[in-house]
A = this chain, B = another copy of it.
């Protein structure tokens, strides 16, 4: 498990290939503008493969002045399966541009994102939500060339989610809506955005804003919330996400009520267990992969100083109707 293993350097490759280190570098990075005969190029490539040469990351970054490492800084919040799809796509899209993505999970006791950024020498940092200016500044100080918030404008499709939820309920005849907010503080900002989307949909339909109530993932909390909604004549509730929606469903069940007859419920995220809920949960799903790809494009663009092509965002939000509404 702990073998140091002599490192193979570019010099080794050069010696084996019978060329200079410079040539090796040119070939391996296939630097444009250098017309290297195919014969030489092959020789270098073979030597590299033979020796299993891996360029030394630190040396490369030091010399080149950039590490091409992109750090995704995830704050302390409940992480779900949707996240991995986003991250995978982000990583894949970045890799196409020769960038390497790693993720930092911010925890109560661990390093801060800024710290981690400095330690790994990231070229770019993608933060969640909007980054505070002071943090952005610190990140730059730490060596990051580019710093982007996660959901600028389109990416998270966050407001549209709330809008889609509310529109769905409205289209099914509900006139008084509720919104189930998550208890986790880290989710507050995103929840507020989704709620805003729902509020806009209500306004468009000439309805009052949804009655927003916080619901932790416990039956008792859900009982309290659903009771208040019932009292307020709410007939349909949008939940921040599927977990919260499942809590609402549980609250209803506990009270001897049922969805959608007594109260329609729609979640968000379309987690795997949504369809297993009782009743199966109507939810809003959205294109996380697309979001990942768009984010990657934005990073690449600012890293290379190009203009950001606005990249169309269409049909990202979709209602998956099941029995709960």
- Residues in chain A within 8 A of chain B (CB atoms): 1-5, 7-8, 52, 54-62, 67-69, 71, 76, 78-81, 83-84, 87-89, 91-92, 95, 100-105, 107-111, 115-116, 118-121, 136, 140-143, 145-148, 217-219, 222, 243, 246-247, 249-250, 253, 272-273, 275-278, 280, 302, 305
Contact = CB atoms under 8 A, between A and B. Distances in A.
Given A5-B140, A219-B276, A273-B243, A91 B120 contact: no
B102 A275 contact: no
Given A102-B103, A278-B253, A302-B2, A143 B88 contact: no
**A101, A146, A246: which has the most chain B beta carbons within 10 Å?**
A101
B273 A273 contact: yes
Contacts of A60: 58
A106 B76 CA distance: 21
Nearest to A103: B103
A142 B278 contact: no
A88 B108 contact: yes
A76 B88 contact: yes
Contacts of A104: 91, 101-103
A7 B273 CA distance: 49
Contact of A143 (B57, B222, B275, B277): B57
Nearest to A184: B272
A243 B246 CA distance: 13
8 contacts: A1-B147, A57-B67, A57-B143, A58-B58, A58-B121, A67-B120, A80-B80, A120-B120
Nearest to A69: B120
Contact of A142 (B54, B69, B87, B140): B54
Nearest to A122: B57
B143 A7 contact: yes
**A76, A95, A110, A118: which has the most chain B beta carbons within 10 Å?**
A110
Nearest to A83: B79
Contact of A105 (B91, B116, B219): B91
B243 A68 contact: no
A115 B101 CA distance: 11
B57 A119 contact: yes
B250 A276 contact: yes
Given A78-B272, A100-B116, A143-B7, A1 B148 contact: yes
A80 B84 CA distance: 10
Given A89-B107, A89-B109, A100-B119, 20 more contacts: A1-B136, A2-B305, A3-B140, A5-B141, A54-B118, A57-B143, A58-B58, A58-B60, A76-B84, A79-B79, A91-B107, A91-B110, A95-B109, A95-B110, A95-B111, A218-B276, A219-B275, A222-B276, A250-B276, A250-B278
Contact of A92 (B95, B110, B141, B218): B110
B217 A273 contact: yes
